[in-house]
Chain A
Amino acid sequence: MEITGEYTLPAPRQAVWEALQDPAVLRASMPGCETLEKLSDTEFTAKVTTKVGPVKAKFTGKVTLSDLDPPNGYTISGEGQGGVAGFAKGSAKVQLSDAGPGQTTLRYTVDAMVGGKIAQIGSRLIEGTARKLADEFFGSFTAQVAARAAATAPVAPAAAAQPAAPSPAPSAPREGIPAFVWIAGVVIAVALLLYFVL
């Protein structure tokens, strides 16, 4: 399963880069995130509760960052073992680039794999769930980044006075999700499937 996507964010590249690593921003952006802790500069753990249809599930997962190239991008990877339901693992390359004054383009390519019963039953459920979570995440993340950009630029040029768009730029495809969230999404879906199908 490969997911690619692109979003334009109303903040300079450095600010987006920092936000992408700020547990507070990520926690606030991630639907159902209860705790998100930075273990080191390259490791996070998260506890996420999510609900799909009638089922509510909790998951704890771990992701690591590599190939750090501030403020241009990194590779993020994660793995979740779902016991009798199989496994989910994935990695993603995230790239940031300037998209004009105070604007940053975030591109990502996720290469992920699920195995065992999760793949057997739920490839579709997982993708759908992950995409839904991505939309929610990006709405929040964009708002957070915009708010920070506004707060750190008190003497604003005219452009900064514009309210930050709470949704992706119209030109950006609404496909795909940030790797970090995608992996969390997969992992959450894994947990859901445990309840659904076993």
Chain B
Amino acid sequence: MVENGIGARVRRKEDFRFLTGQGTYTDDMNRPGQAHVFLLRSPHAHARLKKIDARQALAAPGVIAVITGADLEAAGVGPLPCGWQIFNKDGTPAHEPPHPVLAVGRVRHVGDPVAAVIAETRALARDGAEKLVVDYDPLPSVTATAQAAKAGAPAVHDGAPNNVCFDWHFGDAAAVDQAFAKAAHVTTIDLYNNRLVANAIEPRAAIGEYDPAADRHTLYTASQNPHVIRLLMGAYVLKLPEAKLRVVSPDVGGGFGSKIYHYAEEALVTWAAKKVGRPVKWTADRSESFISDAQGRDHVTHAELALDKSGKFLALRVQTTANLGGYLSTFSTAIPTYLYATLLAGLYTTPAIYCGVKAVFTNTVPVDAYRGAGRPEACFVVERLVEKAAQEMGLDKTEIRRKNFVPKSAMPYQTPVALQYDSGDFITHMEAALKLADHGGAEKRRADAKKRGKLLGVGLSTYIEACGIAPSNVAGALGARAGLYESAEVRFHPTGTVTLFTGSHSHGQSHETTFAQLIAEGLGVPIENVEVVHGDTDRIAFGMGTYGSRSLPVGGSAIVKAMDKIVAKGKKIAAHMLEAAEADIEFKNGTFRVAGTDKGLSIGQIAFSAYVPHNFPLETVEPGLDETAFYDPKNFTFPNGTHICEVEVDEDTGAVQLTRFVAVDDFGRIINPMVVEGQVHGGIVQGVGQALVEDCIYDPTSGQLVTGSYMDYCMPKADLVPSFQVATNEGAPCTHNPLGVKGCGEAGTIGAGAAVINAVVDALKGFGVTHMDMPATPEKIWRAMHGKAAKAAE
């Protein structure tokens, strides 16, 4: 048994520096001679950008340069690329209008960057920006998802008729139509999946630096995937060869998806550093984050579920309008398509599924992946429908699920929407969750609550997600413009310590601990002798980054492959040193041993001899002990689970209190249970946040962002949630990766929203309420309880 290996609750190695304020975030870094940039952003949702007069700004104290979109265009700087090509129903490609680094000719959302002022200090840059005279000609704007494609809506981009980016569909429409024709019951729902602001605790920041002696650029940026930024910015925007460009993502304070994308500010500071001959730094303030970080969700959906008379699902038909904002962010097009429609089977045997998605441009901040990314939206549609169908048909909410779950015996299971689930034992985690939640006692609790003027509601949600998008050739066939593998390098040092270089960036996921546990387990090295390095394109071979809960299933698998190579080489060395046949060497708990004997050498001794090869098989084995591996997954992984939420709604005020929240998840094999629990807790809070309090709202007339600060955008706080009861089921591990792991980063967010809303609707069933859009604020609930009479009295 290895100490601190797989399954151990190892305390996070990274916490010492974080908790003592010694982390190094991008804004903590200051380069010699550094100048600062301030971005003037559009105050209009939509306007013609007629003229920028920079004369006064250039004369302002401390101002070094003013850069506009025209300057960048003249210098050959390209637009920000979209990383996933989607095709319309008719086979034509989606409309991908250019997304300039700085606006040219038109501004398309409040916050669209218009000009950059570079000065000696941040304050002087801002003062300089005050002197810029920008001549706008305001245009009518459209922000609401449901309005964008309507006749007469203002056109966000020329050449995108009705603001449609693409009109895409997936699944078998004919089979669905047939199933609906013979259905005994059809449940329909219309819902809005509210737009969210990502709200990472660290606002984005970037520093560009140029070394003329080496003709080399460095970008320090708060990003989830420095190699992807190097690829996109180098190849598409600035046309810099990779060898001349280094991207570093130091400590990053959370991303939730919003730091996946290649942003304008990264290209701007990199380009400007060479232009002005000094490092250039940009740090967003919180207000800027609200209008420049990609936002999440924002779907309007009509969905129908066909059932036979016993409550068995026959078919699902979904039509969604997805709001992509003013421009296409890096992975925006993939989220409401391949990460959404493919998940609509949920945990169920629904034989026929069809999904149409119309993606629209609006005068809002671009929308892209936000924790869960498409999968919470799919889960919400499916689980709301299931709950509503159960209510309509008089079926118990657990019974309808039992009746329709894909059984464990059917694994691997081919869904009608492309995915093939490799593993899963859905009934087991639902039963475990029901037990943990004392579901049997719910009716008694409901009666007790009623005596206190509270309406108790029980909400169930079961979810499945697809993590670690894969394999690359399939993703490529679906339109991905990148591979989706991961790299790892395990470098054994001469005196027995190990440095692991991983392409998976850590910004809250605890890689420095979990990955070190993998090394401890795999190579028998004490965990304190393992250093995990990530986030620097000059130090790490390659990386596709951290998103989609892929770090462990993909990045972890690459680590295992690299360790396999270390062990294979170690066996050769050990065979030579122990004067045995290579086939007779066993490796276990850090020792190479001749099978059946007590002759053995520790991996530290092997490493030492690899670097001091005095007694070494030099004819057949190279010195050194340093192995790199790339891992391209064979399939997605499919984490799944059951969430149960109990709420109490105050009859007088409509206020919701969560009184119970249970999550039983199947993440495959667990490396560090404490880290997993942390991920689940955080994920649930974000899901609860969307369900109860968070809402990103644009004024429909002016297009202004009115929830642009924490005075108006409500974040979930500790008092919103109860103490969670979470558990995992490790009985159905992933079958196709070497660790049997599935990923846990997004699960909480995916399952929680539907559980909470199902609970709220259950609490209000006495009022004839059948649906409640998120966030379920006290006001909405109160109005729902008071029905039409209350509306008339307004």
Q: Hey, which bits of chain A sit against chain B, CB under 8 A?
A: 83-87, 113-121, 123-124, 197-198
Contacts and interface: CB of A to CB of B under 8 A. Distances in A.
A112 B43 CA distance: 15
B43 A124 contact: no
B607 to A, nearest CB: 55
Nearest to A83: B130
The 9 residue pairs across chains A and B that have the minimum distance between CB atoms: A116-B43, A120-B708, A86-B43, A119-B704, A83-B130, A115-B43, A121-B709, A84-B129, A120-B705
Contacts, number: 58
B189 to A, nearest CB: 33
Contacts of A87: 43
A120 B129 contact: no
B506 to A, nearest CB: 32
Q: Interface majority SS on A: helix, strand, loop or mixed? A: helix
A116 B42 contact: yes
Nearest to B290: A120
B702 A115 contact: yes
A94 B290 CA distance: 37
A120 B130 contact: no
B94 interface: no
A118 B43 CA distance: 9
Nearest to A114: B704
Interface in B379-403: none
A87 B38 CA distance: 18
Interface string B20-48: 00000000000000000010111111000
B706 A116 contact: no
Contacts of B42: 116
A98 B110 CA distance: 45
B686 to A, nearest CB: 22
A197 B290 CA distance: 13
Contacts of B711: 121, 124
A117 B130 CA distance: 13
A84 B126 contact: yes
A124 B712 contact: yes
B704 A115 contact: yes
A197 B699 CA distance: 21
28 contacts: A83-B129, A83-B130, A84-B38, A84-B41, A84-B126, A84-B129, A84-B130, A115-B44, A115-B45, A115-B110, A115-B704, A116-B42, A116-B44, A116-B704, A117-B287, A118-B43, A119-B110, A119-B702, A119-B704, A119-B705, A119-B706, A120-B110, A120-B705, A120-B706, A121-B708, A123-B706, A124-B712, A197-B709
B784 interface: no
B66 to A, nearest CB: 13
Nearest to A116: B43
B520 interface: no
Given A115-B43, A120-B706, A197-B709, 5 more contacts: A83-B130, A119-B699, A119-B706, A124-B712, A197-B287
Contacts of B45: 115
B291 A120 contact: yes
Contacts of A116: 41-44, 110, 704
A86 B703 CA distance: 13
A119 to B, nearest CB: 4
A113 B702 contact: yes
Nearest to A117: B287
A118 B699 CA distance: 13
A176 B709 CA distance: 26
Contacts of B129: 83-84
B699 to A, nearest CB: 7
A155 to B, nearest CB: 51
Contacts of B290: 120
Nearest to A198: B126
Contacts of B44: 115-116
A119 B712 CA distance: 11
Nearest to A124: B711
B714 to A, nearest CB: 14
A24 to B, nearest CB: 34
Contacts of A197: 287, 709
A120 B704 contact: yes
Nearest to A120: B708
A108 B290 CA distance: 35
A120 to B, nearest CB: 3
A97 to B, nearest CB: 29
A84 B110 contact: no
A87 to B, nearest CB: 6
A115 to B, nearest CB: 4
Contacts of A118: 43
Nearest to B136: A87
A197 B288 CA distance: 11
Given A83-B129, A83-B130, A117 B43 contact: yes
A27 B699 CA distance: 34
Nearest to B286: A197
Contacts of A117: 43, 287, 708
A83 B290 CA distance: 19
A198 B711 CA distance: 16
Given A83-B130, A115-B704, A120 B699 contact: no
Contacts of B126: 84, 198
A113 B287 CA distance: 19
Interface in B701-721: 702, 704-706, 708-709, 711-712
Contacts of A113: 702, 704
B143 to A, nearest CB: 13
Contacts of A120: 110, 287, 290-291, 704-706, 708-709
Most B Cβ at <10 Å: residue of A86, A114, A121 = A121
Contacts of A115: 43-45, 110, 702, 704
Nearest to A121: B709
B59 to A, nearest CB: 16
A83 B134 CA distance: 9
Interface in B120-143: 126, 129-130
B692 to A, nearest CB: 21
A112 to B, nearest CB: 10
B707 to A, nearest CB: 9
Contacts of A83: 129-130
Contact of A119 (B38, B40, B708): B708
